[in-house]
Amino acid sequence: MSNLITESKNLVTDLIKRYRDHADLITIRLEQSQGSSILLRGDKVETLSEGIAIGGQVRVCHRGGWGFASFNQLSTLAQRIEEAIGAAKMIGDEETLLAPVEPVEIVCQLPLIGRDPRQVSLAEKKALCDRYNDLLKSYSDKITTTTVRYGDSAQHILIATSEGTLIEQSWNDLEMRFSATARNGETVQTGRETTGSRRGYEDLTNLEEQVRGAAQRAVEALVLPPVKGNTYRVVIDPILTGLFVHEAFGHLSEADMLYENPDLLEVMSMGKRFGPEELQIFDGAAPEGHRGSYYYDDEGTPATTTQLIKDGVLVGRLHSRETAGKLGEQPTGNARCLNYHFAPIVRMTNTWIERGKTPVEDLFDDIKEGVYARNWLGGMTNGEMFTFSAGEAWMIRNGKIAEPVRDVTLSGNVFKTLANIEAIGDDFYWDESGGCGKGGQSGLAVGAAGPSLRIRDVVVGGEAAE
């Protein structure tokens, strides 16, 4: 694959110079990506493809109005710039408020520790998927449906702005998803596993234990009793903690949601207490090696680590340059787009709750009747309300893990749930399986992490209590 990005630098910078006096800000983002995708469903191959995508976008801001144009042919770039300028001028009728960012010229690449997936043949990737699919199908005759998904992508990005920024950045990303559905009469249960990496192809080649675990949970859940629906003290593992902090709290920290919603902005006011003094929540692309990591966001803002909750109190939020400018705060490097078809919007990167001091075994102490939930099966959020399905769960009785149960969903209000955190475990785990969706841009790679948590008064759904 020829290096179109590097070859196009002079053209891009020349056009920026030609048009930079026509608007308050012009940003050009070129993208060259290469990847492969495989989907096996049972005995059928539904997707088996490799592809190269080349394109770009122009974003123009003038008097607070934004113009956007995307393209696949570099020869049309001047025309796209003029179209975006025209659109911005038709809309703009206010002051452009963008938090300042120091211009930078740099070439950077996120390190690839292992084997580059571009050097692995599609046949070898397909063989890996077949091996995992066979493990799922052969686990039990009660397995009725299996799916294996594989995806990798290598992205090479150029960002140039009329303020003088010129950033060339590249990275690789890999992901696999597995699911097995088991049936026994009218009872149907599903087990799922997802994993991702930005380190190398080897991270996907020894996942037999995870794959079998998905099938095992599906089969074993067929004969488990459903949990009795009630309000319980619960203990959740680090994977569920990562899902909770991302879905339930992280999205509420994205400042574009806040400045467009004055009521929510008032709820999420700085200095407000949301949890115990031990609670620390962060988001940032600066920590290296995670799926939400990078050096610069899609506006050219350097990656940072932003503390959102400090000692239980709200102290930060996530910004693009526009949201930071409108709210009078510092940009955090959280403006991201899925690809060149979309404009950057405020998105999480790696989001985590810091480890606590309570030994994990002590989290169960004094719980007469509760629920221990691990892993995730699915979930949804609606504003400050959330519902998550646990991948596996057990009852807690008299401070001990007791019998396993199925159909465990955890739901509640995120603010009440944060306030109801009773203890934070001393364990910690990074989950690299995340693919975040927002504003029509689904599947953006993110990281999530945290320790085990003990939370009181959580609504646990299942079979209704008599």
Residue 129's domain comprises 4-222
Q: Is 430:422 a contact under the CB 8 Å cutoff?
A: no
Percent helix, strand, coil in the chain, to 5, is: 25, 45, 30
Q: What pLDDT does residue 2 have?
A: 52
Q: Are residues 28 and 160 in the same domain?
A: yes
Do 10 and 132 reside in the same domain of the chain?
A: yes
Distance CA 174, CA 80 (A): 32
**Which among 394, 178, 415, 170 is positioned nearest to 281, based on CA atoms?**
415
Structure tokens at 415: 């603010």
Shared domain for 133 and 210, answered yes or no, is yes
Do 176 and 254 belong together in one domain? no
Residues 204 and 291 in one domain: no
Domain-embedded: residue 456: yes
CA distances from 86 to 30, 56, 78, 163 (A): 21, 18, 12, 19
E strand or H helix at 394: strand 385-397
The DSSP line for 42-78 is TTEEEEEEEEEEEEEEEEEEETTEEEEEEES-GGGHH
Asked if residue 250 and residue 167 are part of one domain, the reply reads no
Backbone angles phi, psi at 221, to 5 degrees: -70, -20
Residue 414, phi then psi, degrees to nearest 5: -60, -40
State both tokens at 78: 């001047």
Q: Say what the pLDDT of residue 378 is.
A: 82
Neighbours of 70 (CB within 10 A): 18
Structure tokens at 16: 């920026």
Is 466 inside a domain boundary?
Answer: no
380 with 288, same domain: the answer is yes
Residue type for 328, please?
Answer: G
The domain boundary residue, chosen from 200, 222, 244? 222
The ranges of the chain with pLDDT < 70 are 1-2, 462-466
Give pLDDT, residue 434.
Answer: 77
What residues are paired with 118 via a beta bridge? none
| pLDDT given at position 307 | 98
Q: Report the alpha-carbon distance of residue 208 to residue 318 in Å, rounded.
A: 37
Which of 177, 197, 222 is the last residue before a domain boundary? 222
Distance separating alpha carbons of residues 428 and 293, to the nearest angstrom: 18
Q: Are residues 78 and 199 in the same domain?
A: yes
Total structural domains within the chain: 2
Give the separation between CA 223 and CA 354, rounded to whole angstroms: 37
Cβ atoms of 383 and 292 closer than 8 Å: no
Q: Are 119 and 213 found together in one domain?
A: yes
Nearest CA among 106, 108, 117 for reference residue 172: 117
Q: Look up residue 399 and give its DSSP letter.
A: T
For 332, the enclosing helix (H) or strand (E) is none
Q: What are phi and psi of 405, to 5 degrees?
A: -135, 165
Domain identity same for 145 and 196: yes
Tell me the pairing of strands 228-236 and 463-464: parallel
Q: Are residues 258 and 386 in the same domain?
A: yes
Residue that terminates a domain, selected from 222, 239, 271: 222
* pLDDT given for residue 466 in this prediction: 40
